[in-house]
Structure 1
Amino acid sequence: MLKRELANGLTVSSIGYGAMGLSEFYGETNDLQSLKLLDQLLELGVDFIDTANFYGRGHNEELIGYYLSKLQPSQRHQIKIATKCGIDRPAESAYARSINNTPDYIRKCCDESLQRLGVECIDLFYLHRVDSKIIEQSMDCLGQLVKEGKIAHVGLCEVSSKTLLKAHSVFPVTALQTEYSLWTRDIEEDILGTLKTNNIGLVPYSPLGRGFLTGKLTRNSDLPDGDFRKTNDRFLDGNINHNRNILDIIQPIAQKYQATPGQIALAWLLAQYEHIVPIPGTKKRQYLQENVQASEIILEREDLTTLNNILLQFEVKGQRYSEEGMKGVNV
């Protein structure tokens, strides 16, 4: 697989892997099957794994740590791990959360993540959600963790251009992680330009629209029990029926390239910025292979134009998160 530099020398596979669904939010999980899937990442050339202490309340990091512990040292050193802190999630509540970016909490989370992952240094450490009121203190702490060798690079998630630039002035931000896909384009108004001007990497999560842009989820009933999308605004019956119209625009382009709609969605993202690395997640090898193969698709100018303008023809119905889920987004 081709490599891409996010920023500051952090070079990874042009398609990464989002591991969140291996622990929760997307229906049933199975650790044995998850480990088999992770084994296939290196075979396919994927060397960038995204996790967080939030996912499964530590389970996701522990799973990734166990996977890493079974690798040969030469294989282990090929893989770059990104994880996150900054959200405090009470054990007694399924979804409630609060933002905690205090230096003491950041250090505590970093040490816990290092232990769960079984590594000496975290390749990319994000603030999962940001308290803009204390961003300078938070970035100073993260910079100190870099100097101490506990983390190699600093990232932020879901911040405004103003907060990003404020943070970047304290310590270099290697990557911004935010939702970005053919049906979620908020960052194009301002943030994407800021990233390009300052040569900051971009890591889009949900690059396949939480699976919708693959064309395989067209009804709410397609979703299993326990899958958070079942109650997500965009996947509710009235909205998902309308949102299917976006697939009618993508499908002819997919046929032209003998590709799937999901591969076209990823190829479009890769064409938006040279320092962009999407992190689609999946539990199935077939889809993992499809995602990797998307990196080989070079879209022609006319097709890029059609996809760039897709929201001029089509208005997405439904918010991307609930009110609780939007806490800390674009602050």
Structure 2
Amino acid sequence: MKYRDFGRTGWMVSEIGFGGWQIGGAWGPVDDDVSVYTLLHAFERGINFVDTAQLYGAGHSEKIIGRALREWNGAKIYVATKAQPTVWPNASDNAPAFRGRFPDWHLRENVENSLRRLGVERLDLFQLHTWAPNGHLELDWLETLNDLRREGKIDQIGVSLRDNRPDEGVNLAHLGLVSSQQVIFNLFEQQPRDALFGAAKASDTAIIARVPLDSGSLVGHWTKDSYATWETGSQQHEMFRGDRFAQTLMRLDALKGELGDAFPTLAEAAMRYVLSHDAVSVLIPGMKTPQEVDMNIAYSDGNHLPDALLERLEKHAWARNFYT
């Protein structure tokens, strides 16, 4: 396992982290005992960063991670969690209101609940589960979180950027107001390279890259019949509804044609694509079994994509938002 600096925090985190959304149950049925076993296997293999949120299964993901932490006797595991706003911004709103969306009572309640579910005395990284372009000007949220840091309830502060809007974090990165920003980044969603990564590197802000495998599409196993096998109402079923699934298959075929036989699997190309960017501190694929852990960490070997291939892959960028 390779490790990277997590911005200016002084942490060294595994470049492959553990995304905890799927163990909350939103992606289909899960066995909690298997989830705990998978987490412990990930820790044994060198993963030391886990990302979760109150939203993931209404706290269920946090509870399962807490179980694993209680059974783990090894090295430090950094856990990042999130609080959702009191009102979610409309996905089409370019300038949503931000002041008052994370009031003092709300943040304190979320912190206490996350501490209880995770079974820890301090949260390593506490993230706002959305962001807005004017958030760096309306700083009521930061006052409360700084108080919570002083009280020893949280260590570091981060934000999770809105889907498909990485540039909303650029001003925040320039100012260095938080330790980390979480953003969608993968072979399709390439926009963070344009401005966010440079701003983050300049202020030594850590970047957490989520959905490196595009919620499963970039694993490369999907066929025209895959959609029918997904549980109705599951996250994947909702995300790729209507003609979205067919659009994705078409894009996947083009990617596979571009890559040819350069990689054994599309998943390897996708993971190595994200790892090839030094602005990224950690990427957090979702993993439900030890086999998936082993598959993902195999790519943490320092072998990155050549610049010429990165340039060729730029034409496959696909800006869309399937989370609405």
Q: State the TM bucket, normalised to the shorter chain.
A: 0.7 to 0.9
Alignment check: 8 A CA contact 1:54 1:85 kept: yes
Q: Distance in 2 between matches of 1:249 and 1:178?
A: 25
Q: Distance in 1 between matches of 2:189 and 2:219?
A: 15
Give 2:91's aligned residue.
Answer: none
Map 1:86-165 → 2, pairs under 5 A:
86-88=84-86, 100-131=101-132, 132-133=134-135, 135-158=138-161, 161=167, 165=171
1:242 aligns with 2:242: no
Give 2:5's aligned residue.
Answer: 5
Q: Distance in 2 between matches of 1:71 and 1:254?
A: 35
Q: Which amino acid aligns with 1:150?
A: K
Alignment check: 8 A CA contact 2:169 2:181 kept: no
Give 1:221's aligned residue.
Answer: 227
What is the Cα deviation at residue 168 of structure 1?
Answer: 6.9
Give 2:191's aligned residue.
Answer: 186
User: Structure 1 vs Structure 2: percent identity of aligned residues?
Assistant: 26
Alignment check: 8 A CA contact 2:276 2:305 kept: no
Q: Distance in 2 between matches of 1:214 and 1:251?
A: 15
RMSD of the TM alignment (CA)?
2.6
Alignment check: 8 A CA contact 1:223 1:230 kept: no
Task: Report the 3-state secondary structure (helix = DSSP H, G, I; strand = E; otherwise coil) of the residue aligned with 1:253.
Answer: coil
What is the Cα deviation at residue 214 of structure 1?
Answer: 1.2
Residues paired across the two proteins, number: 304
Q: Which amino acid aligns with 2:249?
A: N
Map 1:197-212 → 2, pairs under 5 A:
197-212=202-217
Q: Distance in 2 between matches of 1:146 and 1:140?
A: 10
Alignment check: 8 A CA contact 2:16 2:284 kept: yes
Give 2:94's aligned residue.
Answer: none
Alignment check: 8 A CA contact 1:124 1:155 kept: yes
Map 1:233-272 → 2, pairs under 5 A:
233=240, 236-244=244-252, 245-255=254-264, 260-272=265-277
Q: Which amino acid aligns with 1:239?
A: Q
Change (3 A) 1:87 1:30: farther
Give 2:93's aligned residue.
Answer: none
Q: Which amino acid aligns with 1:111?
A: E
Q: Distance in 2 between matches of 1:166 and 1:2?
A: 28
What is the Cα deviation at residue 135 of structure 1?
Answer: 4.1
Q: Which amino acid aligns with 2:80?
A: A
The range that moved more, 6-15 or 45-54, is 6-15
Bigger share in helix: 1
What is the Cα deviation at residue 141 of structure 1?
Answer: 1.6
Alignment check: 8 A CA contact 2:41 2:290 kept: yes
Q: Which amino acid aligns with 2:251?
A: N
Task: Report the 3-state secondary structure (helix = DSSP H, G, I; strand = E; otherwise coil) of the residue aligned with 2:126.
Answer: strand
What is the Cα deviation at residue 315 of structure 1?
Answer: 5.9
Q: Which amino acid aligns with 2:6?
A: L
What is the Cα deviation at residue 164 of structure 1?
Answer: 5.2
Q: Which amino acid aligns with 1:2?
A: K
Q: Which amino acid aligns with 2:204?
A: N
What is the Cα deviation at residue 185 of structure 1?
Answer: 1.3
Q: Distance in 1 between matches of 2:308 and 2:319?
A: 22
Q: Distance in 1 between matches of 2:245 and 2:299?
A: 30
Task: Report the 3-state secondary structure (helix = DSSP H, G, I; strand = E; otherwise coil) of the residue aligned with 1:294.
Answer: coil
Change (3 A) 1:216 1:222: farther
Alignment check: 8 A CA contact 1:182 1:265 kept: yes
Q: Distance in 1 between matches of 2:277 and 2:308?
A: 11
Change (3 A) 1:17 1:89: farther
Alignment check: 8 A CA contact 1:267 1:294 kept: yes
What is the Cα deviation at residue 130 of structure 1?
Answer: 2.5
Encode CA deviations 1:102-145: one digit per residue, 9 max, x unaligned.
22211110111011111011111111112545741112221221
The range that moved more, 185-194 or 196-205, is 185-194
What is the Cα deviation at residue 274 of structure 1?
Answer: 4.8
Give 1:17's aligned residue.
Answer: 18
Give 1:36's aligned residue.
Answer: 37
Map 1:63-74 → 2, pairs under 5 A:
63-72=64-73
1:230 aligns with 2:237: yes
What is the Cα deviation at residue 50 of structure 1?
Answer: 0.6
Q: Distance in 1 between matches of 2:317 and 2:300?
A: 27
Task: Report the 3-state secondary structure (helix = DSSP H, G, I; strand = E; otherwise coil) of the residue aligned with 2:283.
Answer: coil
